[in-house]
A and B are shown apart, each in its own frame.
Chain A
Amino acid sequence: MKRLSKTLNIQSSPHLHSQARVDKMMLHVVLALLPTVGFAIYAFGWAALFVLVSAILSCLLTEHLLCQFSKQTTTVSDGSAVVTGLIYGLTLPPGLALWMVVLGGMIAIGLGKFIFGGLGCNPFNPALVGRAFLQATFPLAMTSWITAFHADRFTTLPASTLAFPFTTPNYDQLSGATPLAAYKFDHVATDTMDLAFGLTTGSVGESCAVLILLGGIYLIWRKMMNWRIPAGIFLAVLLLSGLFHWLDPVRYPSPIFMLFSGGLMLGAMFMATDMVSAPITAWGCFVYGLFIGILVVVIRLWAGMPEGVMYAILLGNAVAPYIDRLIQPRAYGKP
């Protein structure tokens, strides 16, 4: 018999591994967002497509260049920059000048993620860091909404989109206020069905709540999203706004309106659930969700601005490490 002789691999146990991989998870997030992206382009035309594409490209390019600059292997292939860019793009107003989109994308990756050490190290959701920067720098541009389902949306681009860098854009297709602003400043409620199916104005990706919900449910089904975070947010929003609506139905909007308007659905499903900036334990995630939900209601009802999801999530990110310190699983055999 031939003597068996082989060079063997030596590995520490376990010798089996699941098929899960970070880049695959990122791909599934993109997949889950595709229906929302499709609807956004259908509703806002080329303007939305241009915003999304330049958001993604600016994030990818920033990450690649920063890696090159700091003499590291590029980390573009892990897919997290695509997800950041896509989510960042979805939070922007569709008519935003593209140079602002690119600038915000650079901030999102550079200040939101890279300076903390890249993937896995960012304390805040990078997409929201980018958006918060734009909100602070260009408050007018960030609250100028173009009309959804405009007749010319697939033939012409809004003048504002192609504004020359560092100039103030002109607006030609401006619509009225978003449903939240309309309620806050004029006490005009929008029909719930219009809200749920996205027949209103707003950011690129925050119009069709039903498609966002479906995407989120897909990720929950694939076990790539912790359902406790959106559950906590929805629960807190429903209970708290329900309480105030019950106390004063004229002044405070109904909980259903609160749930389906603005960026709540997108924020709860795809931004608060960013694993890196959320707590890690089951209970921690639920508490984190409740905290964000309460903040959303507080900001929307009593603060000076109509929408509060972005700041609520950023504040939630800020307390997430503290939640992780407070809430740890009780180890087996420990009191």
Chain B
Amino acid sequence: MWKNGFNVVRNLIEWRSWFGNDSQALLADQSAHGGLHRHQPKTFAHGLVLADCKAATASLPIRQFPFAPVMSIPLRQHIGKAALPVVQPGQEVNRGQLLAKPDGFLSVAMHAPVSGIVKKIDWMPTIQGNMEQGIYLQTYPAATQEVIEGVPCLPTAPVKQMLEAMQNAGIVGLGGAAFPSHVKLTIPEGKFVDTLLINGVECEPYLTTDHRVMLEQSADIILGIRYLLRITGAQQAIIAIEANKLDAVETLQNALPDDMSIRVQVVAVKYPQGAEKILIKTLFKREIPAGKHAIDVHVLGVNVATTAEIGRLLPHGRGIQERVITISGPAVKRPGNYRIAIGTPVRFALEQVGVADDLAEVFLGGPMMGQAVSHLDIPITKGVSGIIALTTADAHPDQKIYPCIHCGGCVSVCPMFLNPSQLGLLAKQQNYARMVTEFNLLECFECGACDYVCPSHIPLLQYIRVAKQSVKKQRRNASSREATE
């Protein structure tokens, strides 16, 4: 009884606002405790409610995008080692043909996005700002652009064979991280997965790619889940979808087969609901211990678009040579969802959809976590889920920065329950050691919620990012010193 009373007080004090934002959170809490509002979508504490800006593209079907005259395909579009090219300059390739093979386990293959001729293998600019080796491919304008198929891999194949097929198909997480899927799906010795989590939350504003994929490729998704369930050995799969995509919920519910345990779960519209750690907490009330992974709480999360690609490509032995991307934002004249060849330059993509004259800012990914484009020749890679363009009116580069007034806004939105205000102050003093030991710097996954709410416009996330990079560099240096000694 005492514990109950304490919980009541605790919920009252931690309930951040009386009106608006958190009312859904409260209802969901009640459903967990008393079962009063069983139909309220599940949610998590803290976080933000953002204007989702999805209306411009949510109802537009996925369309094939034209091919750029020259494609530039970086050999490293994923986390891990760059792929090894298997083609020579001057060689003709067909769409879907293997361009580069994986170099080791933590690496994936690359496939030709168009039929054409390999011009050269040279350095090319990337979104990170550095140069990477890549293949320049000149498109044959008159080619039929039929896709070459390879050796099929069916969901009945042995697990090892399926993982190899994924690596050779170049499949990486399409949600943004671009981590090789076969590595993620290799269950380490002594660990097991009980639940497969298909992440269709897509909580970033503007983006509607996962939404359209769920509406248009439900069969591919179900087939993808068949592969994934077999690989992971999980008993059930849960497809998590935000409450602003109820049509996708219905479509998937209608597509569910009878022979597998798959459930569609609606979650509340809140940022960053789609982050795996947060989603796992929302759905299963399990927290991944610091420094561990989802698999340590027996969950394995896969993005819904990745799942759809697995179901679409593996049965035909094909590789990823294109992906669905939302091109949107106030500066875009014809926003939409497009199936764009990997390697298409951002410049070509924007020219095709048309941009306003006062274009000021372009970024790849969503507006909260996306990376700014510094150079329009940057190619679209496997991890890019959107191209968003803002006009001068929407971009505000020179906002006045005030001192921190301790309003606590950042503390009340941080989904990881950190203290961004304190982290920002310490980062300014470059007191990185204290940030790590006392204020859990390394737990931040850079969702940007603190930065968004800050009334002083302190670039909190930038401070935190710089601090994290510095700490990681120090640790790398320390470990390499140890290795040499």
Contact = CB atoms under 8 A, between A and B. Distances in A.
Tell me, yes or no, whether A binds B: yes
Interface of A: 1, 3-6, 8-18, 20-25, 78, 80, 117-121, 220-221, 223-224, 226-228, 275-276, 278, 280-283, 285-286, 328-334
Given A275-B405, A334-B290, A282 B355 contact: no
B96 to A, nearest CB: 28
A11 B395 contact: yes
A13 B369 contact: yes
A282 B281 contact: no
Contact of B418 (A117, A119, A228, A329): A329
A329 B367 contact: no
Contacts of B422: 280
Given A9-B395, A12-B461, A330-B417, A18 B453 contact: yes
Contacts of B416: 331-333
Nearest to A220: B18
Given A275-B408, A280-B421, A13 B371 contact: yes
B376 A280 contact: no
Contact of A333 (B289, B376, B390, B451): B289
Interface in B315-367: 347, 350-351, 355, 359-363, 367
A214 to B, nearest CB: 15
A36 B409 CA distance: 27
Interface stretch (B105-113, B118-126, B161-169, B396-404): B396-404
Contacts of B290: 331-334
A4 B375 CA distance: 11
A21 B18 contact: no
A16 B370 CA distance: 11
Given A20-B454, A80-B405, 18 more contacts: A4-B351, A4-B355, A11-B395, A15-B372, A15-B395, A120-B456, A221-B18, A223-B17, A228-B13, A275-B405, A275-B408, A282-B408, A328-B419, A329-B418, A331-B290, A331-B417, A332-B281, A332-B288
B452 A280 contact: no
B311 interface: no
19 contacts: A9-B360, A13-B367, A13-B370, A14-B461, A15-B361, A15-B372, A15-B395, A18-B455, A120-B405, A221-B19, A223-B17, A275-B406, A281-B419, A282-B16, A332-B277, A332-B287, A332-B416, A332-B443, A333-B277
Contact of A281 (B395, B408, B451, B457): B408
Interface in B431-467: 439-440, 443, 446, 448, 451-457, 459, 461-462, 465
B461 A8 contact: no
A156 to B, nearest CB: 41
Contacts of A22: 402, 405, 455-456
A3 B345 CA distance: 13
B419 A282 contact: no
Contact of A17 (B205, B351, B396, B411): B396
Contact of A10 (B277, B374, B465): B374
A331 B289 CA distance: 10
Contacts of A281: 408, 411, 419
Instruction: Give the dominant DSSP class at A's interface.
Output: loop
A282 B451 contact: no
Given A4-B351, A8-B373, A13-B448, A283 B403 contact: no
A118 B407 contact: no
A333 B448 contact: no
A333 to B, nearest CB: 4
Contacts of A15: 361, 363, 367-368, 370, 372, 388, 390, 395
A16 B207 CA distance: 14
A19 to B, nearest CB: 9
Contacts of B439: 328
Contacts of B465: 12
Which interface residue of B205, B388, B417 has the most chain A CB atoms within 10 A? Answer: B417
Contacts of A120: 402-406, 456
Contacts of A118: 403
A276 B14 CA distance: 20
A332 B448 contact: no
A204 B168 CA distance: 78
A9 B422 CA distance: 28
Contacts of A121: 403
Top 4 nearest A-B pairs by Cβ distance? A120-B403, A14-B448, A20-B455, A329-B417
Contacts of A5: 376
B181 interface: no
Contacts of A275: 405-408
A276 B406 contact: yes
B465 to A, nearest CB: 7
Interface in B270-295: 277, 281, 287-292
Nearest to A331: B440
B94 interface: no
B116 interface: no
Contacts of B459: 12
